[in-house]
Amino acid sequence: MAFPPLPQSPFVRFVRSESFAGLLLVLTAIMAFIWANSPWRDVYFTLQHTHLALSAGTAALDLSLEHWVNDGLMAVFFLLVGLEIKRELLIGELASRRRATLAVAAAAGGMLLPGALYYLLNAGGLGASGWGVPMATDIAFALGVLALLGSRVPLGLKVFLTALAIVDDLGAVLVIALFYTESVNLTFLALAALTWGVALLAGLKGAPSMKVYAVLGILLWFFVLKSGLHATIAGVMLAFTVPIRKPDPSQYLASLTDAARPGRSEVVGARLRDLEDLLERSQSPLHRMEHALHPFVTFAVLPIFALVNAGVSVSGAGFGAISYGVMLGLLLGKPLGVVGGAWLAVRSGVASLPRRVTWFHMVGAGILAGIGFTMSLFVSNLAFEDVALLTQAKLGVLMASVLAAALGAGWLVVTSKKMPGTAQDF
């Protein structure tokens, strides 16, 4: 008799889905790049700058397609990032002090050193404002590369890289909020704070309805956009109001007991469906929102973002100091900063390496952390308004991300041996 396969852990399912997300991002980015350099390039850039207007009463928004994607859809991406950060801080990998310390130390080094190297190369020049571009890691790409290596790398390395990328994302959000906001409208900022307070109160009261957060999230996004802060920050703000605690299981006990009673096959089937529904509702609002958003972000938000932003026309454009600064930060600053920060944390005794993870693995993870794609392209749009400067930044990001993926994979293949005991990790 054949038994069904054992259910995979949530982390393994996460790695698999992120791996596919990385592949989808690569294909979409390639398609956008080819389109922007084809005879139909004018169609691409015309669509990118086509304006779409929405109005509700006296409120109106008129944004280009590029801005709707970068300010609107990406707010949903940042909402998912915020949910993941909160989950990891409370019950995940960052809830353990030693593991959190390792990730924070590595992420700090992996953000400060790339930014410093970039600034040294561009200080006083037109590209000085782009120091935030090489600071973040694209988790989908990085985990996608690790998944291709199979059992050559231990699960602990994937856990570390995930935690590192999450801390990186949190750092990127702070950088955007503090350094890439030009002016603030205090009236709309106050309305945003009031809306966030209502969402926080709803979370403290344990409001389980996703409709509540959807309405409050749209209002919060609008007020943050009008305040002058980048609208995507609203996603992270909303995420931190969503409760992670589970409902009292006693309220489901009677229903679960009734659903488990024997009966006719069709009755049992109906009861099992009821049981599945009850188990789903017994999850915390944060888990339910995260599970609901993940497919949408994976299959829609990120591919659309890549399609709109990775189309860089190289006609008449070339590499410059901005491109070289981005590449220096991602390809050299990232591995040195990540490994250096982790080494200091381990050396001082406040952290330790994950099980089966060696320093050779950590160097590979540091190189893969140089895959900046999504967040680096996003910060590029904030740092540069001039098309020529933005093109330089995007070329640097794309080239560095491709090289980091190839070099990181090559390093881990050469320095790692196949681990029979980790096959079940995949």
Q: Is 151 exposed, middle or buried (0-12, 13-18, 19+ CB in 10 A)?
A: middle
CA distances from 120 to 57, 128, 131, 150, 240 (A): 49, 9, 9, 38, 36
Specify the pLDDT at position 284: 77
What does the alpha-carbon distance between residue 392 and residue 200 come to, in Å, rounded to a whole number? 41
Average pLDDT value for the chain: 81
Of 4-13, 334-343, 358-367, the range with the lowest mean pLDDT is 4-13
Specify the pLDDT at position 422: 41
Closest CA relative to residue 400, chosen from 327, 345, 311: 327
Specify the pLDDT at position 6: 46
Specify the pLDDT at position 343: 96
185: left (phi over 0), alpha (psi -120 to 50) or beta: beta
Kind and range of the H or E run holding 55: strand 51-56
Res. 138: pLDDT tops 90: no
- Is pLDDT larger for residue 250 or for residue 299? 299
Closest CA relative to residue 168, chosen from 392, 337, 331: 337
Average pLDDT over residues 175-180: 84
**Domains of the chain from N-terminus onward:** 17-54+95-180+311-421 (1.20.1530.10)
Average pLDDT over residues 82-107: 83
Average pLDDT over residues 2-10: 49
Closest CA relative to residue 309, chosen from 4, 117, 48: 48
Average pLDDT over residues 168-188: 83
Give yes or no for a contact between 113 and 339, defined as CB atoms under 8 angstroms apart.
no
pLDDT tier at 84, thresholds 50, 70, 90:
confident
For 410, the token pair is 């090559």
User: In 91-204, where does DSSP find H-type helix?
Assistant: 97-122, 139-148, 155-179, 186-204
Average pLDDT over residues 19-24: 70
What does the alpha-carbon distance between residue 324 and residue 195 come to, in Å, rounded to a whole number? 42
Give yes or no for a contact between 401 and 334, defined as CB atoms under 8 angstroms apart.
no
What does the alpha-carbon distance between residue 167 and residue 404 come to, in Å, rounded to a whole number? 19
What does the alpha-carbon distance between residue 406 and residue 401 come to, in Å, rounded to a whole number? 9
Average pLDDT over residues 220-231: 87
DSSP state for residue 92 in the 8-state scheme: S
Res. 208: pLDDT tops 80: no
Of 60-69, 118-127, 151-160, 275-284, the range with the lowest mean pLDDT is 275-284
Residues contacting residue 315 through CB under 8 Å, at least 6 positions apart: 37, 41
Tell me how long the chain is: 426
